[in-house]
Amino acid sequence: MTRASPPHGDLSSLFNFLPIGAYRCSPDGIMLRANTALVALNGYASEEALLDSVRVSGNEWYVLPGRRAEFRHLLERDGYVRGFVSEIRPKGSDRHIWVSENAHVVRDADGAVLYYEGTFEDITAQVLAQQAQRSSEEQLRLLTAQIPGMVYMVDLDREGRRCYRFVSEGVREIYGFGPQELMRDPMLIARYRHPDDAARLAQETVDVLNEGVDLAGEYRVVWPDGRLRWVYQRSCEVARSFDRVTRVGVLLDVTERVQAQQALHASEALWKVALESAGDGVWDWNLVTGEGYLSPGILAMYGFAERDQAHLAGELDRRTHPDDMQQMLADRQAHFEGRVPVYRNEHRIRCTDGSWKWVLSRGMVIARDHEGRPLRMVGTHTDITELKQTEARRQVLEVQLRESQKMEAIGTLAGGVAHDFNNLLAAILRRKVWPRCSGRRSGPDSSCSRS
């Protein structure tokens, strides 16, 4: 509330010089004065034209019904109004604008109301920008609600303190609390981190502030009830100033995937141990990078120590006998192309001591890309050297047996031929002797009896 005092000079120049609209009106709402900015705001050429229009059109200033009554109530109750934001319809235009209004009551020495004074500032641009921002935020909220996990935007000051500017509803899936709770207490997330991951995550914050690196990795979250969850984080920098860094990112709950991987690794360990126990060497080959896992059994098969081998599958290929290489690659390619369900090949390998061994190699592709190209293959090597040697000895013995049987057959044949020859010879001899005795009586004293 303002008390009127005797004028100390003419303030009309200051009144008209104000860059925002200013007015004076009577207690019954009749506008008495309007400065140049207010006249222009309403689209009139002069103050007189605006005042005439106000008298004719009455109180059609505020777009929202009851807004004038609310303004008058505050003014009469407090004696002033500050920052009263309203949508209005300027007197000389059909357009709508937003204004921020300030006003106060001017009274005489006895406290009677003389008039009201106030200002209007056109804040349409700010209001529209705020509305656009709210609309954008709402669209962002709706969009991120469709994305699994937590989407966020955060400011970090030079000390690493956080201030979240946006957090999606997906934070509940990971941490069990809502976006507003995290925005009120930015350190809430830090209290849920697994102690074993704390040092690494603290170092990542230092790297972010100093180098602006992109982050991608997993860490553990421990809920108050002790439940453990795995989270995959990815974030990047979008702005940097002298006192803060702004980053956007996403957190995804990957607990089920990690648990499945852990179960798979445990299962793989079991079957690898089982195969090792059966005497087979186990290999696991990444067909994309060429890297591979070679079990202790397969290293021993080649004569390698654990520290001697780089676990590259190509090293095994280079130790394949040149005469066996072509067939080995052909059998492998047939499996890669799906023409045979399982890769199987026998070939010789050169050991570190220069000796050669026979191995039976079996394997299967267990991962392919969307176009069917093989990505990962696992299998075994079985030392079949003794089997091959036994087979070779068996083949030698079979050859010897066949030769022996052949000689026996030849001997039997020769004996049969000799017997038949003797019989034929005897018959021939008999035919030559008996004719000389024809016509003679046979008997003990006969000369033919000695034939």
What is the number of other CB atoms lying within 10 angstroms of the CB of residue 88?
22
Domain housing 218: 145-253
Contact 264, 258 (CB under 8 A): no
Contact 170, 147 (CB under 8 A): yes
Number of domain units in the chain: 4
Segment holding 176, helix H or strand E? none
Distance CA(268)–CA(101), nearest Å, equals 74
Same-domain status, 248 and 182: yes
- 130 in a structural domain: no
Sign of CA dihedral 390, 393, 397, 398: positive
Q: Which of the listed residues 197, 218, 253 is the one where a domain comes to its end?
A: 253
Q: Residues near 25 by Cβ (< 8 Å), separated by ≥ 6?
A: 31, 32, 115, 116, 118
- 134 in a structural domain: no
- 178 in a structural domain: yes
Same-domain status, 272 and 364: yes
> Which has more confidence, 179 or 145?
179
Same-domain status, 110 and 17: yes
- Give the pair of three-digit tokens for residue 92: 């000389």
Same-domain status, 367 and 276: yes
> Which has more confidence, 140 or 152?
152
List, in sequence order, every residue forming a beta bridge with 237; answer none if it has no partner.
247
What pLDDT shows up at residue 50? Answer: 85
What is the number of other CB atoms lying within 10 angstroms of the CB of residue 423?
10
Same-domain status, 98 and 11: yes
Please write the tens of the pLDDT for every residue from 177-198: 999 999 999 999 889 999 999 8
Rounded alpha-carbon distances, angstroms, from residue 151 to 124, 201, 301? 32, 18, 52
- 108 in a structural domain: yes
| 149 band by pLDDT with thresholds 50, 70 and 90 | confident
Q: Which of the listed residues 253, 284, 300 is the one where a domain comes to its end?
A: 253
SS3 for 64? coil
According to DSSP, residue 228 is labeled: E
Same-domain status, 6 and 109: yes
According to DSSP, residue 434 is labeled: G
Same-domain status, 353 and 408: no
According to DSSP, residue 249 is labeled: E
Please write the tens of the pLDDT for every residue from 278-331: 567 888 888 988 888 888 888 888 888 876 655 566 778 889 999 999 999 999
Q: What is the mean pLDDT of residues 12-21?
A: 81
- 136 in a structural domain: no
Please write the tens of the pLDDT for every residue from 33-53: 999 998 888 888 888 888 887
- 128 in a structural domain: no
Segment holding 183, helix H or strand E? helix 179-184
- The percent of residues in the chain predicted with pLDDT above 90, rounded, is 35
Distance CA(189)–CA(141), nearest Å, equals 20
Same-domain status, 329 and 221: no
- 129 in a structural domain: no
| 446 band by pLDDT with thresholds 50, 70 and 90 | very low
- 137 in a structural domain: no
Q: Which of the listed residues 72, 107, 122 is the one where a domain comes to its end?
A: 122
Supply the CATH number for residue 363's domain: 3.30.450.20
Same-domain status, 192 and 275: no
